[in-house]
């Protein structure tokens, strides 16, 4: 699982005594373009089209909220040892994470899962690079590639069963 540069900086700042704000809520979204360590701001959520105007992302699913704990919705597990690596720790989703009857501008391939600090973001069209760009690149906390890309058509439902979305640290 990759970590955003903002989150990495926040962790490193804590090592020198700087304050890092708590993340009071987390949301999950699927990405049709995943960031990389060399291009951490180069990600696009599903539903967003590379057209002018770019449209909006499929709504993110809330997985944690410090104020509204609701165990009927998806939530994170307790921290545990990652299977197969005793030096790695993980949390994973409890209950399924689903998007019902998604509205997409066209069939899209989803290649990664992103964990975000906010419920939604907007995109603008960059006429120079001809791609959509997020207006709030600091909202992404973690991401991880999906083993095999998933093709989703307009109106379909997407479901990740219990423990299929993992956040790991070593």
pLDDT given for residue 1 in this prediction = 58
- Distance, CA of 94 to CA of 99 (rounded, Å): 15
Surface-to-core class of residue 165, CB atoms within 10 Å of its CB (0-12 exposed, 13-18 middle, 19+ buried): buried
Of 13, 29, 127, nearest to 74 (Cα)?
Answer: 29
At residue 14, the 3 state secondary structure works out as: helix
The residues spanned by each domain of the chain are 2-169
**Could you count the other beta carbons within 10 Å of the beta carbon of residue 62?**
18
pLDDT given for residue 157 in this prediction = 95
pLDDT given for residue 5 in this prediction = 65
- Distance, CA of 114 to CA of 67 (rounded, Å): 22
> Bridge-partner residues for 113, per DSSP?
30, 144
Instruction: List Cα–Cα distances, 143 to 18, 66, 112, in angstroms.
Output: 25, 21, 7
**Could you count the other beta carbons within 10 Å of the beta carbon of residue 27?**
22
Q: Which residue has the tokens 């020198």?
A: 16
Within 8 A by CB and 6+ apart from 166, the residues are 1, 82, 90, 91, 92, 144
Tell if the pTM clears 0.75, that is, is over it. yes
pLDDT in tens, the chain (170 residues): 576 667 767 767 777 888 877 888 999 999 999 998 888 888 999 999 989 999 889 999 999 988 877 778 899 999 999 887 888 889 999 999 999 999 999 999 999 999 999 998 889 999 998 989 888 888 898 999 998 999 999 999 999 999 999 988 87
Surface-to-core class of residue 37, CB atoms within 10 Å of its CB (0-12 exposed, 13-18 middle, 19+ buried): exposed
């Amino acid at each position: 699982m990759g970590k955003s540069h903002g989150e990495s900086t926040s962790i490193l700042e804590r090592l020198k005594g700087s304050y890092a704000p708590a993340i009071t809520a987390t949301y999950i979204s699927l990405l049709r373009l995943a960031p990389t360590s060399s291009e951490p701001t180069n990600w696009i959520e599903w539903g967003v089209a590379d057209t002018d105007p770019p449209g909006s992302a499929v709504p993110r699913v809330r997985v944690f909220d410090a104020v509204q704990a609701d165990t009927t919705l998806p939530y994170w597990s307790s921290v545990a040892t990652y299977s197969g690596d005793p030096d790695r720790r993980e949390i994973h989703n409890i209950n399924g994470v689903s998007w019902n009857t998604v509205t997409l501008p066209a069939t899209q391939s989803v290649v990664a899962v992103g964990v975000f600090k906010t419920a939604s973001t907007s995109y603008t069209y960059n006429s120079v690079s001809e791609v959509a760009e997020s207006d709030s690149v600091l909202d992404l906390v973690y991401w991880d590639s999906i083993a095999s890309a998933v093709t989703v058509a307009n109106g379909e439902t997407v479901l990740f069963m219990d423990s299929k979305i993992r956040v790991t640290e070593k």
